[in-house]
Amino acid sequence: MCGIAGVISLGEVAERLVKCIHNLEYRGYDSCGVAMVNGGPQVHVRKNIGAVGEVSEKERFSTLSGHTGIAHTRWATHGAVTKENAHPHSSCGADFSITHNGIISNHERLRSRLSRDGHNFVSDTDTEVIVHLVEDYFKKTNSVEKAFVAAIRELEGTYAVAMITSHEPDRIFCVRKESPLIIGLGADANYVASDFNAFIDHTKRVVFIEDDEYAQVTHDSHSIKSISTGEPVARDVLELPWDSEMAQKGGFPHYMLKEIYEQPIVVNSALDIDEERIRDLARQTVEKTLTITGVGTTFYISQFAQYMFSLYGGATPLALSSDEFRHLAQMGKESLVLAVSQSGETYDTLTALRHAQKLGASTAAIVNVMGSSMARMVDSLILQGSGPEICVLSTKAAMSQMIILTRIALEAGVIRGVISRKVANARIKDLRVIPETIERILNEKSGFIHTIAKAQSHINHWLFLGRERYYPVARESALKMKEVSYVHAEGMPSGFLKHGTIALIDEKMNSVVFMPPKEQKELYDISMSSVEEIRARGGYILGIMLEEKGKPPAIFSDVITLPKAPAFAAPYLQMVAAQLLSYFTAVTLKRNIDRPRSLAKSVTVA
Ligand code: M6R
C-alpha cells in the first residue's frame, strides 16, 4: 500500500531517491520522507505530510547529503496522517532508520514490551516497533545483521522493510513477507523498491526477494539469505521487458487517458498470447472445478468470464470476490482457482490463492506484472503483457483480462465439444476487430462523450445497467465512475432494477444502459423494457450501443453510438465508452485523476 525505495551509490543519492518515491506515488501519497546516512553517528530523517513534490520542496529533500538512503511514500493504515506517523521511523538513538509496507499484527504486544524496556515511541504506527526492536537487539549483539534478523523473527503480519544504519553506512538491509520488495541492479548504483517503477529510469535488471528472505545491498553487490536458516540463497537476475518511456505519460494529460488509448495495442497483445498457453489453461478449467477470483475491477472481470464460460465454455464457474473467498470456498484437489490481478500483489487475492492451496486446489493466474508474488506462487501463469499501468484505475489491464479470459472460455467450449472450432475461430475473428474499433471510438466519439460528461456533471447519482455479459461491464463501469469522479454510481442487472432500486429514479438520478445489439433479440427487447421503466419515471437515460440499421430508439435521452462492429465485440467496446465517460466527468469536476483520494494502485493490506 505504501511505496518503499532505497538507493546506494558512491555518489550523492538524494535526488534519485526523491525521483524513486515520486515514481511510486500511485502506491500511496498522504505523506512521505527520506532518511540518509552521511558519515555521522545518526541517520538524518526529513518527512512530512503531503505529496512527494510538495514535501520534497518544503523539507528540501534534495539537499540531504549521503551515498545511502531510503525513502517512503505512505498510504495510512495504522495511525492518522501526521508528520510523526510518516516514514522513515528512527530508533531512540537515531542510529537506525526504517521504512515499512504492510501490517505488523503483534505490534501492540511488542510496543508494550519495548516501552517497558525504556524505548520512547513518537508515532502511532505499527512500523515503529521494528526499528526499536532492531536497536534493542543491536545493544545485545553488536551486530547489525544479527539484530535485524532477530527483530524480524519476532514480527507477525506482513511486511516489506528497508533499513539503513550509521553503524554500517555502506549497505541497505531489507526483508519481505507477503509484501512486495525487489532489488534493482544499476550501472552506478543499486536499488531496493516496492516495485520496478521506482528505478525504471536507471535499470531494468532486477532480483526478486521471496517471503522470509532478507537481503543486504551495497553499491555494487547484493546478497540474499533465508531468515529461518541464515543460509545464502542464489537468485537469478532478470531483465524486465518494460522501459521508462513505456511508464511515462507520453504527451497525455493523465495516465488514465494514455492507458485508455493504449487499449488497441493491449488487445492485440492479449490476442497474440501463445495459443498453447491458452489451451493448456482451458484444459485445466475443463478437467477441474473452476473458481475465478479477483477483487474490485478484477472481480467484475471474473464475473464477465463467468458469463463467457457459461455462454461458450459449456459450464458455469464460480466467480468469487477474493476478499470473501475464504468465507465461501469449498474445494479440494478437484478444484482450480484462477486469479485475475493487474499487480499480482493484491493482498485479498493472494490470500484467496493461499487458502485455495491450503485446501489442495490447483492455482492459476492472469497477471500483468512479471515476477509479482502471484506470478510466482501459482501452478500456471498467463502474463498479460499489457505494459505498466500507472493510473490507480485499471483500464487497459482490465480490457486485456477480458480478452484473455474470453479466449480461455472459447477454448474450453471447444474442448468440451459445446462449440465447434469453427465457431471459436469466428468469435476470435470478432475480437480482432476490437483494436481498430477502439481507435475509431477514441478518434470519433471522445468529443461527444466529453460533451455529455460536462452536461451531466451536476448529477450526483448514476445507475449503470446491463443484462447477461453486459451486467459485469455495467458494474465495472460504475466502479470506474465512483473511483475517479467521487460521484455515487451503482452497477446492477437491468432486471434487478424493478425489485427496489427503481424507487430512486427521478430527475436527479441518471442511468446508463449497456444495450445488446439487436441480433440478440430477446436480450435487446428485455433490456428495452428496463429503459421504458426508467423513462416512465422521468429519469435521464444514456444508451451505449453499436451502430446498427435505423436510428437509435428515441426513448433515450442521449445515445453513444459506437462504430459498426460484430455483436460479439459489443461489451468490450462499450466498456471503452464508459471509461471515457468517467474520465471526462472527473476532468470536469477537477478530480485527482491518476491518484484519486484514498485509493492506492496496489492494495497490499487486508
Ligand atoms: O492489482 P489488482 O488487479 O489485483 O487490483 C485489484 C483491485 O484493487 C483493483 O482492480 C481496483 O479495484 C482498481 N482501483 C480498479 O480500478
Residue 78: the pLDDT is: 74
Question: How many Å apart are CA 277 and CA 106, to the nearest integer?
Answer: 42
Alpha-carbon span 433 to 93, nearest angstrom: 64
346 lines ligand 1 (CB under 6 A): yes
Please calculate the CA angle 226-232-236 and round it to the nearest 5 degrees.
100
Quick one: average pLDDT of 123-138? Answer: 96
Average pLDDT over residues 137-146: 98
Residue 296 confidence (pLDDT) = 97
Distance 374 CA to ligand 1 centre (A): 14
Which of 99, 142, 105 is closest to 126 using CA atoms? Answer: 105
For residue 365, give the nearest of 283, 293, 290 by alpha carbon.
293
Ligand 1 atom with minimal separation from the 343 CA? 1
323 Cβ closer than 6 Å to some ligand 1 atom: no
pLDDT at 180: 84
**How far apart are the CA of 297 and the centre of ligand 1, in A?**
5
Closest atom of ligand 1 relative to the 395 alpha carbon: 16
Does residue 184 contact residue 242 with C-beta atoms inside 8 Å? no
Which numbered atom of ligand 1 lies nearest the CA of 602? 1
Strand partners, 4: 72
From the list 19, 445, 480, 601, the catalytic residue is 601
Spatial contact of 269 and 386, defined as CB atoms under 8 Å apart: yes
pLDDT at residue 75 in the model: 77
Query: Mean pLDDT over residues 508-519, rounded?
Result: 96
Which stretch of 19-33, 84-98, 343-357 has the lowest confidence by average pLDDT? Answer: 19-33
Residue whose CA is closest, atom 16 of ligand 1? Answer: 393
Asked if 373 contacts 178 with a C-beta cutoff of 8 angstroms, the reply is yes
Backbone angles phi, psi at 116, to 5 degrees: -60, -35
pLDDT above 80 for 1:
no
Which pLDDT score is estimated for 332? 96
Q: Do 4 and 72 touch, CB atoms closer than 8 A?
A: yes
- The per-residue pLDDT for 246 is 65
Is residue 217 in contact with ligand 1, taking CB distance under 6 Å?
no
Average pLDDT over residues 505-517: 96
At 184-200, the pLDDT tens digits run 999 999 999 998 889 98
What amino acid is encoded at 219 in this protein? H
Q: Is 20 an annotated catalytic residue?
A: no
Give 397's strand partners.
none
- For 251: left if phi > 0, alpha if psi spans -120 to 50, otherwise beta; the answer is left
Max mean pLDDT among 26-40, 239-253, 592-606 falls in 26-40
Ligand 1 mutation target, pool 483, 601, 603, most atoms within 8 A of CB: 603
pLDDT at 35: 98
Q: Is 368 in the pocket of ligand 1 (CB under 6 A)?
A: no
CATH code of 3-245, in short, is 3.60.20.10
Q: What is the mean pLDDT of residues 265-283?
A: 95
Contact 130, 98 (CB under 8 A): yes
* pLDDT tier for residue 203 given thresholds of 50, 70 and 90: very high
Task: Output the CA 330–ligand 1 centroid distance in Å.
Answer: 25
Q: Do 446 and 544 meet the contact criterion of CB atoms below 8 Å apart?
A: no
Q: Which of 346, 353, 378, 601 to mutate to test the pocket of ligand 1 (most atoms within 8 A of CB)?
A: 346
Strands 488-493 and 31-37 turn out to be: unpaired
Q: 34: which 3 cell numbers?
A: 527520506
Q: At a CB cut-off of 8 Å and minimum separation 6, what does 143 contact?
A: none
pLDDT band with cut points at 50, 70 and 90 for residue 79: confident
Q: What is the pLDDT of residue 363?
A: 98
399 lines ligand 1 (CB under 6 A): no
CA-to-CA distance for 142 and 119, rounded, in angstroms? 18
Verify whether residue 177 is a known catalytic residue.
Answer: no
The residues, any chain, with a CB within 8 Å of residue 285's CB and separated by 6 or more, are 309, 313, 317, 336, 338, 408, 412
Q: Extract long-range pairs of 153-157: CB within 8 Å, 24+ residues apart.
A: 153/227, 153/228, 154/106, 154/110, 155/104, 155/106, 155/110, 155/130, 156/104, 156/105, 156/106, 157/102, 157/103, 157/104, 157/105, 157/106, 157/107, 157/126
d(CA 256, CA 391): 5
Domain regions of the chain by residue span: 3-245, 248-432, 443-599
Neighbours of 412 (CB within 10 A): 28
600 in contact with ligand 1, CB cutoff 6 A? no
CATH class given for the domain over 248-432: alpha beta
pTM of the model: 0.78
User: Atom 10 of ligand 1 has which residue's CA nearest to it?
Assistant: 297
Are the C-beta atoms of 188 and 174 separated by less than 8 Å?
no
Mean pLDDT across 252-275: 93
Question: Beta strands of 11-57 (E only): which ranges?
Answer: 31-37, 44-49
Q: Which of 342, 396, 483 is the pocket-test mutation for ligand 1 (most atoms within 8 Å of CB)? A: 342
The whole-angstrom separation of Cα 194 and Cα 603 is 12
**Is the C-beta atom of 298 inside 6 A of ligand 1?**
yes
pLDDT of residue 241 exceeding 80: no
Euclidean distance between CA atoms 191 and 189, whole angstroms? 7
Average pLDDT, rounded, for the chain:
94
CA 479, CA 489: separation in Å to the nearest integer? 7
In 497-577, the DSSP E strands lie at 509-514, 541-546, 558-562
- Which range, of 70-84, 216-230, 517-531, 551-565, averages the lowest pLDDT? 70-84
Q: Is 348 in the pocket of ligand 1 (CB under 6 A)?
A: no
Q: What are phi and psi of 451, to 5 degrees?
A: -60, -45
Domain 443-599 in the same topology as domain 3-245: no
**442 and 277 Cβ atoms separated by less than 8 Å:** no
Indicate if ligand 1 lies below 6 Å from the C-beta of 90.
no
Indicate the top mutation candidate among 195, 343, 370, 592 to test ligand 1's pocket, ranked by most ligand atoms within 8 A of CB.
343
Stretch 304-313: mean pLDDT: 98
Whether the CB of 349 sits within 6 Å of ligand 1 = yes
Cis preceding linkage at 317, omega within 30: no
Average pLDDT over residues 462-473: 98
pLDDT over threshold 80, residue 532: yes
| Ligand 1 within 6 A of CB of 295 | yes
CB 142 within 8 A of CB 165: no
- pLDDT value of residue 517: 96
pLDDT interval class at 550 (50, 70, 90): confident
pLDDT digit string (tens) for 355-370?
Answer: 999 999 999 999 998 8
Which sign, positive or negative, has the C-alpha torsion 14, 15, 17, 22? positive
Tell me what pLDDT residue 29 has: 74
Per this entry, what is the length of the chain? 606
Q: How confident is the model at residue 245 (pLDDT cuts 50, 70, 90)?
A: low
> pLDDT tens across 246-256, in order?
667 767 889 99
- Checking if the pLDDT of 242 tops 90, the result is no
Angle CA 114–117–120, to nearest 5: 65
User: Is the CATH code 3.40.50.10490 the one for domain 443-599?
Assistant: yes
213, 234 Cβ separation under 8 angstroms = no
